[in-house]
Structure 1
Amino acid sequence: MLLGGTLLANDDQSVVLNARQIGDALDVLGNPLTEKEKGDLDVAKTTEEVSAILDPKSIVEVVINPESRVKVRSLSVVPSLVEKGWTSHLIKIINEAGVTAPLQVSSAQALPLANAAKESLADRWLKLDIFRGRPLANTLSGVSIEYRILQIYSRDSGKRSAKLKFDVGQGTQDLGFRSEILINFDCLSSADLSFEVLDENNKPTIAAFEIRDMLGRVYPDQAKRIAPDMHFHPQIYRGSGETVRLPKGEYRIGYSRGPEYMAGEKQFTYDGKGGELTFKLERWIDPSKNGWWSGDHHIHAAGCAHYTKPTEGVHADDMIRHCIGEDLKIGSNLTWGPCFDYQKQFFTGKNDKVSKYPYLLRYDVEVSGFGSHQSGHLCLLRLKDQMYPGGESKHHWPTLGLNTLRWAKAQGALVGPAHSGWGLRCESEELPNYEIPPFDSIGANEYIVDVTHNVPGPDGKLVPAVDFLSTVDTPIVWELNIWYHTLNVGYRTRISGETDFPCIYGERVGLGRSYVKIDGKLNYESWCEGIRAGRNYTGDGRSHLMDFTVSGLEVGTRGSEISLNEGGAVRVSVKAAAFLPKEVNQSFKGLSYTAKPYWHVERARIGGGRKVKVELLVNGYPKDEVEMDADGKINDIKFNVNIERSSWVAVRILGSSHSNPVWILVDDEPVRASKRSALWCLESVKKCWAQKERFISKNELKDARLAYDHARAEYKKRIEECILE
C-alpha cells in the first residue's frame, strides 16, 4: 500500500479494528457516528474503506516519519465547536516509524487563565484533550494508520483561531514548524440557563452548584475560569436571577449551601436554548435562630491556590459570594505574605462594603510569610491598624511572636496561633498524651511560651497575650493535646474554628467554623468578643453543642467560672445535634486522624449505625457520655458529675465539635489539675527554644530569652502547685 509516497505494511485488519473502537468511543463521548457510518464500518475490510468513512470527520492528519519527526496538515476546512462545551474531532495518524508513544497536542490558546497576564486572557479561549479512555489505549498502537479523538472545549462563540502543535515525545517535532498548524474554528453560541435559588424561607439566596455532564466533565471548565468562579473548585456559586452558559446536553447538578443544609442533585436535559431551573434549599438546623452565629476566622483572598495574575488574588465581592454560598455569617479575610502589598489596600478596620447582613466580611492580618512566622503563624483579628510601626510593608515586623502580640493586644485585637497542630505532631491517638512534639513548624509552637504572658491591653491593664487556639484545620490530637495541657495548669485560652482557605483546605470556606452566642444583633466586634470570652463552640458545622451550661452558668458568661465552697455534684447540660446520612461513608473506614478531613462528623459515627457520642470532659478526660441519634434533631443532654477539686469542664463530639470550657473553682483554689501536664509544658518550652532560637533576630534575642525564661519559671511554679500527678 502506497500513502504519501511511502510504502506501508498491509495493516488493514488492525486499521479496521481501531476504526471500530473509535466508533465505540464516540458513542461513550456522546458524539456518535451516524447509523450509516456505523453500518459502513461494520462491513469495512480495507484501509481505503475506513479512510472514506473517517477522513471527512478528521480535522488534521499527523504524519510521523521514519525518523519519528512529526508534521501535520489540515483535513477539515472550518471545524465547528460549541461555546462553553466540548466537541469531539478525529485525528488521522500516519505512523511510518511504528511509534508507540502517546500522541500529545498543545496550544498557546489552551493555556489556563489562572496566573495569566490580563492582556493574554482573550487569547486563551480553548482547552484540548486527547481521549485516552476505554476502549482506546493510552499510547499509539504502532500500526501504519490509526485514528484518535481530539476533544475541544471552547470558552467563546464566533470565529476563533488556534495554533495546534503535535508531538510524540521530546524532540519529535518536525523542523520548520511543520508540527504546528493554524486552524480556524466556527464556535456556535450556547444560551444562558437562569437559576432561581430559594432558601428554606423562600427568600432568594446564593448556593454552590457543581455541574457535570454524563461523562463527569465539569462546567464551566475549571481551566477557563477567573473570579468569582475559582479555577480550583468544581463548584460555582450562583444566586437567584444569575446564570450559567451551557450547551445542549444532559447534566447532573449537585447543589449545597454549607453544612447546615441538605445537599441535593438534579438531573436534566437542556435544549441549549435558555430557560430557568429552580432550587429549593432545605436546612436540617439553623443555630442562628438560637443566637449562635457561624464564622471562619481564617480565609484568604490571595496566596496558595489563588492566582497572582491577572490580579494579585481575588477581591472582596468574590469572597463574600463564597461566604453567602456556604451560609457562613462571618468571614475574616486575612492579608498575609503573598500579594501583601496589593491586598493591604482593602483593610479598613471595619466591615467591608460588600457585606450584606447577616453576612459580614472584614479584612485583618495573618503573620505568615514574614515577621515571626517561623515560630508559628498568628491570626490578628479586630485590628484598628494593620501595619506594625516602622514601615509600610511586611519586612520590618518582629521575629519574636510575643512582640507582635503586644502590639496587637494594645489596640484591642483578638489574637491566636493559626493551624495550631503544625509542629505538634505525635504518634499517640490518646488525649491528652505526654509525647513531646518537635515544635518544628508553623502552628501553635511559640504558644507554649506566649500563653504564660500577660500584656497591656488598650487601657493599659494586663490581659492574656493569647486569646485562642485555632482548631479544625490540622489533626485533632495535635491541636487539642497542647490545649488540654495548658488548661490543666490553669491557663484559660479558648478555641476557635478555621479553614485556612485556600491553603490547608481549598474546597470551600467554612470547613472549620466557630459558632458564637451573641445577645442582640450580629456584628464583627461582638463575634470576636464572643471568641475571647469562650462563648462559642467549634467544629465542622455538621454537629452542634449549643447552650452548654454548668450549674446554670452558660459558657462564655461571667468569665465561664463558678465557685464551690467544697467539692460535690454539678449539673451539666447542652443542646446537641448532629446529622449523618444513613449510609456509612466508606472512605472514613480506617482513616488515620492525621489524614484529611481532620474534623468531620463521619469520624464520630459509632459503628455502622447513625449515632454519635457526646462526651463530658473533666480536665481533658471523658467522665460520662451519651449516645445520640445523628438525625438532625436537637437533643437536651444532661450530665451529673462530682467535682472534688478545681477543674475545667467541657463537652465534645470527638472528631466533629468541641465546646469551650467552664472553670469550677473549689475553695477558691486555681486549676492545677495535673503535674504531668505541667512537666510536659516545661519540657516543651525547652524543645521550642531549641527549634526557634535561630529564627529570632539579634536585636530581639534579649526579649526572646526573657520571654522563654518567664515561661520556664511559670511552669516550674505550677509544677510545685499541682497536687495530682
Structure 2
Amino acid sequence: MRREMRRSLLGAVGLVVFGTVQLAAHPHKPGSSPDGHHSQAARAPDESRRAAAFHLDFFTDIARRCPLACQPRLITQSVLEHRFVSGAPDAPTLERLVSQRNELLDTLRKKLPWLSASWSSDRLAWDAPPGTLEVTERRPRYVVVEICNVTERVLQASVDAGTPDARVAHEIAPGASIPFLVAIQPTADRAQISVHGEQETRALELPVERVVAATLRVQLIDGESKRPVAGRVTVEPSDGRLRYAGPFVENRTFLEKPIVQLAPMRMVAVPFFYADGSCEVEVPPGRVQVRFERGFEHASIDQAVEVAAGERRDVTLASESLLDAKRSGWISGDTHIHWVTNAWNVDLPLADLALVQRAEGLRVANNLTLLHRNPDDAFVKPSQAPMGPVLRYCDSEYHLEMGEEYRNQNLYGHLCFLNLQWLVLPIGTGPQIAGDDSLDYPVNKTAILEAREQGGISIEAHGTGNNHELPLNAVHGLTDSLDQIDPEDYYRLLDCGFQLPLTNGSDHPARVAGCARAYVHIEGEFDYEKWIDGIRCGRTFTTSGPLVFLDVDGQGPGSVIVPDPDKRSQVRVRAISRFPLGRVQIVSNGEVLEEVETQARDATLECPLPLDTSRWVVARCSRNDRWNAIWDADVAHTGAIYSHPEGKPVFKPEAARAWISRMQSHARDILTRGRFANASQRSEATRYVEESIRRYRRMIELHDQARLNDGFQDQKDRLLIQAGFASSRTHAPEFLAACEEATTIAELQKLVEPLTLLRIHINPESRVKISVGAALETVVQHRTARFLVEVHNEARVQSRLQLRAMDQAGTPAVPAEWCALRLVENLVSTSYLTGQEHEWKLVEFRCSEVGHREVHVEAEAGQGTQDLGFRALADFVVHGIPRSEARPLVQQASP
C-alpha cells in the first residue's frame, strides 16, 4: 500500500526543486520544437506543475550524470515536462504527460537499482534490507534512493554519498516520496548515504562489493573491404550506465550536448562515443550490449557479449551498407557546423571534424565562422582556416569547407553563407550578437548580395524563428535554401509559387554534427561546387535518419514538369531507414495524396499525379506526427517537385497575405525596436520591407490577370521581379531607381541589356530570329548562372518557346553534353509565350567543362518555314574556369 501511495504521489505531484545544475552555453537560441498537442497547461493546478518541475530536474539529472540506453526518452520527456511547466501552447495534456512519465519511471526502475527508505520523526530506515551492490573499480555506480516522509511536517532534504557537490534540496510533503540519484563510489565495503534534513543529517548504510572490470577491445571494420573504419559506438553494460572510450573520451564537447528546447538549456550526456577503427572500454562483468553505427546509409550493428571479471574480450563489428547514396548521385552534408567547444569560444582541431565526418558518413561539412560579443566575452570563431575548402581534408569522398553564419538577432535573422571566398563583414550586427552598442546595420540584404557576388549561396538558418526577413528575401530572389524550417511555413512559401529547397544543419556544438543533414543530388563525380549548385537548383531532401527519394515520371526534387494532359503522370517514393519507418506520405498542395504506415525499413509508395491544377509535390517520413528533421530523430522531408500545366505555378493569395501580415509586423519592429545611427539607415531597412510587401500585393493582383492585358506598369513590375532572380546587380539602388523612372519599353531594354543573353524576334508571320545579347565570356564550372531572354513577339503567338544548346563538334550537331541551357519555369517566368508584344524570360546556363567552347543555340516557337533573314540559330563562345580560378572575377568590398 505504501509503495502504491508513493508511486501515485511521485507520478502526479512531486515538489519544487530548490536547486539544480543548469548548464548552457549557446550564443543564440533556436526556437522550441513543435509538438502538435495543445492543452491548458497554463491553467494547470499548481501541484501538477510542481510535479512537472521536479521530474524535469530528475530526468535531466539522470541524463547528465548517469546516461542510459533510454537517453532519447529521458530527453523527450524532459521537454514535455518543461512545456507543461512553462504553459507553452504546445504543452501536452496532463493525462498524456503523467502516462508517459509513469512509463518512463517504470523503465528506470528496471535500469537502475531503486531503493526506498522512510524518514520518520525519530529515525531513517530502509523499507526493506537492501542487497549487496556490485560496484566496478574506478567507476561510481548510480542508484536511486526514494525517500518517503512519514512525518506530519514538510521535509526539506538532500541526499549524497560523500559527494556534496551533487547535493540538491527538495521539499517532501507529508506522506509523499521523491527519488534522489546517488553515486556510490568503489572505495569501501559499505557506502554511507547521508540524508540531510533542515536541522539534522541521518545516514543509511548500503553493502558494497567491489568487482574487477572486464575490458572490451572493439574493432570496427567495413563489411565489404574488411578495412578499419571510424564510427559511433554505444556500450551498455550490465549496470545500465553507458560507458565511453575513444580519442575524445576526455573532451566534454564530445560527451555532452544541451537540450536546446529548454530555457535555460541543460547539458545531458551524448549516448555514444566516436572510435577510429578500434577502442578499449572497461565494463562491469555480465552482459554487455555493443552498437556500431556509420551514419544513415549503414545498418545499425548490435552485438551482445557476456564478460567475466578481469576478462579481456575482443569484439569485431562489421558495418553493413543499406544503400550507397553517393553512387546514385546523392551527397550528404551538414550546412551548419561551428567546430568549437561547447563554450563556443574555443576552436576544435579540424582533424577531429574530419574523423567525425567519416564516422557519421557525412560527405560535406560546412564549418561556419560567426561573431559573438557581449560584456563578458567577444570572439570570432571558428577560425581554423580562411574561407573556402580546407584542402588537407578534401578528397574524392569527403569535403570540409569554411563558411560563415551572418547573424542579426534583433530584427533580421541568421544566414548561412556557403561557397565563400572571404568573410562577409561585419559577420554580425545588432544587440545580442555584436554587442549592446551595435547597430542593426547594414541590413542582411547587403550581406546576401556580397555573398552572391562571391559565388556563394545564402541559406535561411533557423526556419522562421527569428528570421523575420525570410519572406522578403524570397520575393527578391535572395533565398537559396531553407534550414530547420517547419513544414507548414515551407508549404506557405510553396503556395506563393516560390521554388525553394530544404537543407539542414546541426548547428554544432548545439547538437551532434550531422544529426540533421541534407542530401543533394549531383551528376558525375563528387565536387563541392556541384553540391552547392544542386542546392541552387533544388535537388535536395533533409533527414535525421531515413533516406527518402521522390520522383515524378523520373524527375526528382527541384524539377518543373509541364504535364501532358493526355499522359498519366506517376509519383513514386522510396524510403529506406536503419529503423522502422513509421508513416511515409506523398503531400501535394498541403493535402496527403497517399500514405502508408509501416514497421518495415524499406518501403515504396506510388500514386497518380492529379492534373486538375498546378501543384507542388513533396514526400515525408516520420515515426510520429512531427515532420521537422531538426527536432526529431528518424524524420525526412524532400524538397518539392513542381507541376505547371500551361506554365502556371501554384499561387494562393491567402498564403501571400499571411506573409504580408508578418512583414507588416516586422516593419513595426524596425520602427520601434531597431537601432540605427540615423534616419537614413532606418529608412533603408523599412524600404526593403515596403518594397517586399508591394511585390506580394502585385503578385496577388497579377495572378488572375490575363497577360494580354498587361499595361506598361505591369510589364515593368514583372521585369523588376524577374531581374532580381537573375542577378544581384539588379538590387542596387541605381538599378531600382532607373527601373522606376523608365517610361518606355526601349528604356527597359537598355536597362537590362547587360543581363540579356539572347534576343528572340517573332515576326508577324510567326518566324523566329535569335541573336546574342550580352557576351557571356567567362563562367565558373558547375555553377548555374541566370540571364534574361528578351522577346519581341510581333505575331502575338502564345505557343511554348523552346531553346536547345547544341554541340557542333560532330556532324550532325547533337545536344551539348558539356553545358545545359533551359528556360526557367517559376512564379516570375515561364517558357510559354503570353501573347504580349514585349516580354522577358529567365534562362539558366551551366557549363560542366573548362576551357573555351562554342555554344550553338536553336530556338523554336512553333514557327513555320524560315525566311533567309530569320535564323532561329545563334552562336556564342564561353570560357569555363574552375572554382579555384574564380577569385579574380570579384573584387572584395571594403569593410
TM-score tier after normalising by the smaller chain length: 0.5 to 0.7
Q: Structure 1 residues 145 and 716, CA, compared in 2 at 3 Å: closer, same or farther?
A: closer
Residues 384-426 of structure 1, C-alpha deviations (whole Å, 9 max, x = no match):
112416999967894522122111111111211112042xxxx
Query: In the alignment, is the contact (CA less than 8 A) between 1:207 and 1:325 conserved in 2?
Result: yes
- Using the alignment, how far apart are the partners of 1:234 and 1:706 within structure 2? 49
1:317 is matched by which residue type in structure 2?
Answer: A
- Which of the pair has the greater relative contact order for Cα pairs under 8 Å at 6+ separation? 1
Residues 494-539 of structure 1, C-alpha deviations (whole Å, 9 max, x = no match):
2112322332xx3x32222211112122222211211111111122
1:465 maps to what in 2? Answer: 478
Write the mapping of 1:349-428 to structure 2, written as runs, cut at 5 A: 349-351=388-390, 353-355=392-394, 357-368=396-407, 371=408, 374-388=411-425, 398-422=441-465
Q: Structure 1 residues 152 and 313, CA, compared in 2 at 3 Å: closer, same or farther?
A: farther
Identity of aligned residues (%): 19
Q: CA RMSD in A?
A: 4.3
- Using the alignment, how far apart are the partners of 1:17 and 1:451 within structure 2? 67
Query: In the alignment, is the contact (CA less than 8 A) between 1:295 and 1:331 conserved in 2?
Result: yes
What secondary structure sits across from 2:664 in the alignment?
helix
Residue 283 in structure 1 maps to residue 321 in structure 2: yes
1:102 is matched by which residue type in structure 2?
Answer: V
What secondary structure sits across from 1:509 in the alignment?
coil
- Using the alignment, how far apart are the partners of 2:195 and 2:331 within structure 1? 55
Q: Structure 1 residues 411 and 275, CA, compared in 2 at 3 Å: closer, same or farther?
A: same
- Using the alignment, how far apart are the partners of 1:649 and 1:203 within structure 2? 42
Residue 689 (structure 1) aligned to one of 644, 667, 683:
667
- Using the alignment, how far apart are the partners of 2:366 and 2:304 within structure 1? 33
Residue 334 in structure 1 maps to residue 372 in structure 2: no
Q: Structure 1 residues 615 and 483, CA, compared in 2 at 3 Å: closer, same or farther?
A: same
Residues 288-322 of structure 1, C-alpha deviations (whole Å, 9 max, x = no match):
2322121121122226xx136xx814222222322
What secondary structure sits across from 2:691 in the alignment?
helix
Residue 196 (structure 1) aligned to one of 201, 219, 222:
219
1:574 maps to what in 2? Answer: 572
What secondary structure sits across from 1:642 in the alignment?
coil
What secondary structure sits across from 1:377 in the alignment?
strand
1:680 is matched by which residue type in structure 2?
Answer: A
2:685 maps to what in 1? Answer: 704
- Using the alignment, how far apart are the partners of 2:504 and 2:389 within structure 1? 21
- Using the alignment, how far apart are the partners of 1:713 and 1:489 within structure 2? 14
1:230 maps to what in 2? Answer: 255
Residues 571-619 of structure 1, C-alpha deviations (whole Å, 9 max, x = no match):
133341234756xxxxxxxxxxxxxxxxxx5xxx3xxxxxx333141x3
Query: In the alignment, is the contact (CA less than 8 A) between 2:297 and 2:323 conserved in 1?
Result: yes
Query: In the alignment, is the contact (CA less than 8 A) between 1:365 and 1:379 conserved in 2?
Result: yes
Query: In the alignment, is the contact (CA less than 8 A) between 1:301 and 1:319 conserved in 2?
Result: yes
Unaligned runs of 5+ in 1: 1-13, 32-81, 89-97, 112-127, 154-187, 423-441, 454-463, 583-600, 606-611
What secondary structure sits across from 1:386 in the alignment?
coil
Query: In the alignment, is the contact (CA less than 8 A) between 1:569 and 1:641 conserved in 2?
Result: no
Q: CA deviation at 1:325?
A: 1.7
What secondary structure sits across from 1:500 in the alignment?
coil
Write the mapping of 1:706-725 to structure 2, written as runs, cut at 5 A: 706-723=687-704
Query: In the alignment, is the contact (CA less than 8 A) between 2:397 and 2:526 conserved in 1?
Result: yes
1:641 is matched by which residue type in structure 2?
Answer: L
Query: In the alignment, is the contact (CA less than 8 A) between 2:571 and 2:609 conserved in 1?
Result: no
Q: Structure 1 residues 389 and 675, CA, compared in 2 at 3 Å: closer, same or farther?
A: closer
Q: Structure 1 residues 285 and 315, CA, compared in 2 at 3 Å: closer, same or farther?
A: same
- Using the alignment, how far apart are the partners of 2:693 and 2:651 within structure 1? 18
Residue 501 (structure 2) aligned to one of 485, 489, 494:
494
Residue 28 in structure 1 maps to residue 133 in structure 2: yes
1:614 maps to what in 2? Answer: 585
Residue 539 in structure 1 maps to residue 539 in structure 2: no
Query: In the alignment, is the contact (CA less than 8 A) between 1:247 and 1:272 conserved in 2?
Result: no
2:646 maps to what in 1? Answer: 667
1:122 maps to what in 2? Answer: none
Residues 677-704 of structure 1, C-alpha deviations (whole Å, 9 max, x = no match):
1221221211222234423534532221
Residue 217 in structure 1 maps to residue 241 in structure 2: yes
- Using the alignment, how far apart are the partners of 1:390 and 1:535 within structure 2? 28
Q: Structure 1 residues 394 and 679, CA, compared in 2 at 3 Å: closer, same or farther?
A: closer
Unaligned runs of 5+ in 2: 1-121, 143-154, 168-181, 257-268, 373-377, 628-634, 706-895
1:164 maps to what in 2? Answer: none
Q: CA deviation at 1:236?
A: 0.9
Residues 211-245 of structure 1, C-alpha deviations (whole Å, 9 max, x = no match):
243222232399972168434423111122x3235
What secondary structure sits across from 1:194 in the alignment?
strand
Moved more, 347-356 or 407-416: 347-356
- Using the alignment, how far apart are the partners of 2:253 and 2:158 within structure 1? 39
Residues 82-103 of structure 1, C-alpha deviations (whole Å, 9 max, x = no match):
55x3489xxxxxxxxx997535
Query: In the alignment, is the contact (CA less than 8 A) between 1:333 and 1:364 conserved in 2?
Result: yes
2:687 is matched by which residue type in structure 1?
Answer: L
Residue 255 in structure 1 maps to residue 292 in structure 2: yes
What secondary structure sits across from 1:716 in the alignment?
helix
Residue 346 (structure 1) aligned to one of 382, 385, 402:
385
What secondary structure sits across from 2:322 in the alignment?
coil
Residues 519-565 of structure 1, C-alpha deviations (whole Å, 9 max, x = no match):
1222222112111111111222324125x23x454434xxx22335x
Residue 525 (structure 1) aligned to one of 510, 523, 529:
529
Residue 183 (structure 2) aligned to one of 119, 129, 137:
129
2:520 maps to what in 1? Answer: 516
Residue 653 (structure 1) aligned to one of 613, 616, 621:
621
1:488 is matched by which residue type in structure 2?
Answer: D
Q: Structure 1 residues 626 and 484, CA, compared in 2 at 3 Å: closer, same or farther?
A: closer
What secondary structure sits across from 1:718 in the alignment?
helix
Query: In the alignment, is the contact (CA less than 8 A) between 1:578 and 1:629 conserved in 2?
Result: no
Residue 450 in structure 1 maps to residue 473 in structure 2: yes
Q: Structure 1 residues 571 and 247, CA, compared in 2 at 3 Å: closer, same or farther?
A: closer
Write the mapping of 1:143-162 to structure 2, written as runs, cut at 5 A: 146=203, 148=205
Residue 678 (structure 1) aligned to one of 653, 656, 669:
656
What secondary structure sits across from 1:412 in the alignment?
coil
Query: In the alignment, is the contact (CA less than 8 A) between 2:249 and 2:255 conserved in 1?
Result: no
Q: Structure 1 residues 376 and 533, CA, compared in 2 at 3 Å: closer, same or farther?
A: same
2:279 maps to what in 1? Answer: 243
2:492 is matched by which residue type in structure 1?
Answer: H
Q: Structure 1 residues 469 and 640, CA, compared in 2 at 3 Å: closer, same or farther?
A: same
- Using the alignment, how far apart are the partners of 1:723 and 1:578 within structure 2? 42
Under a length normalisation based on structure 1, what TM-score does the superposition of the two structures give? Answer: 0.62
- Using the alignment, how far apart are the partners of 1:698 and 1:683 within structure 2? 27
